[in-house]
Structures are given as structure tokens and as C-alpha cells.
Chains A and B, each alone.
Chain A
Amino acid sequence: MVGVVFIEPAGGEVELDATEGWSLMQVATSQGVEGIDAECGGSCACATCHCYVEGEAAAALPPPSEAELAMLEHVVAERRPSSRLSCQIKAAPTIDGLILRVAETQS
């Protein structure tokens, strides 16, 4: 299990054990984290699982793919250098401790 923390738009912090190999979007939606719509189901096609990544583990993340970068242009909330689509980040030991601040609006 990999420990990650989601900070919901209303401010609530949710600490979760993520199953290795699951996308962080799946981890969040399957455990009731608020604020992630994930309309497309995780195929990198809707930009509604937008989060800002924080913490030391953020630096260890593999960089976004071209497809993710293209889709990040469609996020509704402010796009920042730390913006990621949580469906494109897989739970792995290297990201243990990652903090994901869920964007305040998704669509």
C-alpha cells in the first residue's frame, strides 16, 4: 500500500492507502474523496480529475505524458505548474506521501 493524502475543495484532508497500480483518481473515487468528477472514467479525455500535487513526493512523479499535457489545457480551475490529472498518476512506492490538492472546480 502507498500512502497518499487528498485535500478536498472544502478543506478536508483524507489520508488513503492506495493499491499499487491503481490510478490516484480510482483510489479517490472508490473511497469517496469529494471534488473529483472523473467523467471519462480514466481515459485522459475530460480533465475533470484535476489536482495540484504537493510534498516531497511530487518531485518523484514521472512527468505528464503529451496526452496529459494536452488535456491539462482544458482544466476549468487555474492551471499551475503543479497541475496534474489524477487518472494519469499510478500508485507506486516512489510516490508514498504525495499530497493532492483537489482543484476547486472540475467542470
Chain B
Amino acid sequence: MFSFDPYSPAVDADPFPYYKRLRDEFPCFWSREAGMWVLSRYADVVSALGNWQTYSSAKGNLMTELPNRAGATLGTTDPPRHDRLRGLIQHAFMKRNLESLADPIRDIAKASVAEIAGEKTFDFIEDFSAKFTVRVLFAALGLPMGDETTVREKAVLMVQSDPHTRNKGPEHIAAYNWMQDYAANVIAERRKNPQNDLISHFSMAEIDGDRLDEREVLLTTTTLIMAGVESLGGFMSMFALNLADHHDVRRAVVADPSLVPDAIEESLRYNTSAQRFRRCLTKDTELHGQTMREGDFVCLAYGSANRDERQFPNPDVYDLARKPKGHVGFGGSVHACLGTAVARMSVKIAMEEFHKVVPDYVRVQEQLPWMPSSTFRSPLRLDLAVQ
């Protein structure tokens, strides 16, 4: 009998054969292991993303939600509450407001890649992308350097889940609590010494005369740090993996760096690190002959929607010429990732600088150690050999 367990290490390693069966045979599937429905076809995922009235985020959006987060962040609230929170923050993330970050990000990329120059083999993640992403986040948020290694370690840990208990383990909760304490200290410091930056504005913002709820300030800041480190890092390591595995694409983008954005976009479609998010139904809903009940959780499998042959021809091919539009690698609709512009810009700059120093490389490990996470998918280590 077919089963789909998003906690299984086999799904971490290669979810795509499962997704194909889900799409073809079980497009509205009850996963006993996850205790939720799974939607896997592009059209169904896009419809659900656009229908927040029925597919609510207010009970949490991570497949394995962290305690107390639901209802207090952008990703875990519905309009209109969501919109007022987002209105305070999104200005800072608009592409045109990020241009001043391009030069500092390039300097960070150059400094980070200089540290691996001359190496024959290296771990792309520990030796390059982790350093780069955490330095970018610290620069963007104006955080004091010194804690960056610990911040990254905790961010990577807090998004993981335990494959045996199918829940968060004590180490994941401890990392989450550590990150909340870290965020609380940053917020307190900014309130004492306000600066012209995102956290200062956000932590003192008022909407229609009301201060934001303290839990909203704390958990939204915690989530921003988590996403800035872990999600950006995961996205970047998946992109590097795709380039390492697809020699023709790597050679094409190294020869012509103006193709990097196309390669990034196809990477977001092909194997986004944001594989699965969840919603909660606010009413009984019929789909593909199944009745999902009010209060049931529903997994939206972005990683499957992006491989749906009903939408993308030859979906299992990483095709530089595809220029995919409408993919859900960043989710979509009201809850589409806040950081799309900064993520695209950072990864583009990082890989441009990386390729100047390391233009040709291959993957070393046959089997990758995949992060145990029901929501995200990326390797914990990615050894590359310079050609």
C-alpha cells in the first residue's frame, strides 16, 4: 500500500518518485504518518495558495510547527492581520530598496570565496555558503558580529524534525528558544539605541496607534533571522548542487554570467529547498473525490507542484533554457516568500564571485547527508572537488 511519510529519510533524500505517484494516483492523499492531507498537483497547490480564506495559515505554516509561533508571524497569520504586519516590513525587502546592499554583498562574497581559493576540495556549505549567508544577514540587519557561527547552527537546527517521533526533538526546541532569546536581546538593544534599520523600525512600530503585540515582534524577528540564515543557505546549496551535477549548465553560466538568473530560476523550480508547507482548513472541502474536514491540516507540496508534468514539460530535466514562470519555489500569493528579491540577488552575486575563483567543480559524495526536515530540503554537507 502506498504511503507518504514526509519525516522519512528516504523522502529527505529523494521525494520526487513519491510525488509522481501522489500526483498521478493520489492527488488528494491522507498521510497517516504526517496526520494531514497532501496536495501535489500544480493547479491544486496554486488554488490553495490563493484561497487563504479556506486554506488558513493561522494554525502554523511549517509542516512541524514550532511552539507558540502560530498567529504571531507573517507566515502564520491570515489577512487582514497578516497584511498590517507585512506592510511594516516589506518595504525593506523590495528590490529597488535593496540596491544599496549589492556592493556590501559583493564584498562579502569576495571575502568568503577568498578563504577557499587554492583548495582542491572543500565543503561548499561550511567553507563558503554558511559564512556568506550569515555575514549577509548580519550586514542587512546590522547585527553585531561575534555570534554568527552559533546563530547559523541554531537556525539550521530549529527547522529540523525528528524522523522517529515525527515531531520536534528537545535539541530543536532548545535551538528555537536560543534564537528567541537572541532576537529578544537584539530587540531590546535597538529599543534602547534606535537606528535607521529594519529591526529598530519594526520593534517600535505602531499600527493605527496600537503597538504590535510583543509576541509578534519577537517571533517575526526570530523567523526573519531563521529564514535569512537557513532558507537562504539551503537555497544556495541546492543551486550549487545543481550546477555541480549539470556540467553543461555550469559551463554555460561560467562562460556567460548573465545566464545565472535563469539558472537560479530553474533551480527554484527543479528542487526548491522550500519543499512543503502546510495550511489548515476553515471549512469542509471536496477535492478529487475526497472530503477534507474543517480543522484538517493540508500539506502543499511545492516541490511536487514544480515537477508536475501537467504544467512543466519534461519536469525532471534541469533545463537552463526553460525560464520557468509561475513556479512555486518561493510559495505564492499572499504568503509568497518575503525575501525573494534579496535571495535572488544574494545568490546571483555569490555565485558570480564563486565562479571567478572556482570555475569548474564536481560533486564528491555519491550519497548526500540530507537535513532531517519535513518542510525544507537541502544537504548538510556538500563536498566539491575543483576540476
Write the residues of chain A forming the contact surface with B, with a CB cutoff of 8 angstroms: 19, 21-23, 26, 29-30, 32, 36, 38-46, 67, 74, 87, 90, 107
Contact = CB atoms under 8 A, between A and B. Distances in A.
Closest CB pairs A-B (n = 9): A41-B336, A29-B326, A29-B325, A30-B326, A43-B336, A42-B333, A41-B332, A45-B90, A41-B330
Nearest to B74: A43
A19 B51 CA distance: 12
B341 A39 contact: yes
9 contacts: A21-B47, A21-B50, A21-B51, A29-B326, A39-B95, A40-B341, A43-B86, A43-B333, A74-B94
Interface of B: 42-43, 46-47, 49-51, 83, 86-87, 90, 93-96, 311, 325-326, 328, 330-338, 340-341, 344
Nearest to A47: B94
Given A29-B325, A41-B328, 18 more contacts: A19-B43, A19-B47, A26-B46, A26-B326, A29-B326, A30-B42, A30-B326, A36-B325, A38-B325, A39-B340, A42-B50, A42-B332, A42-B334, A43-B86, A46-B94, A67-B83, A74-B94, A74-B96
* Majority SS at the chain B contact face: helix
A32 B322 CA distance: 11
B94 A45 contact: yes
At the interface, is chain A mostly helix, strand, loop or mixed?
loop
A71 to B, nearest CB: 9
Contact of A30 (B325, B331, B340): B325
A65 to B, nearest CB: 8
A2 B333 CA distance: 19
Contacts of A46: 94-95, 340-341
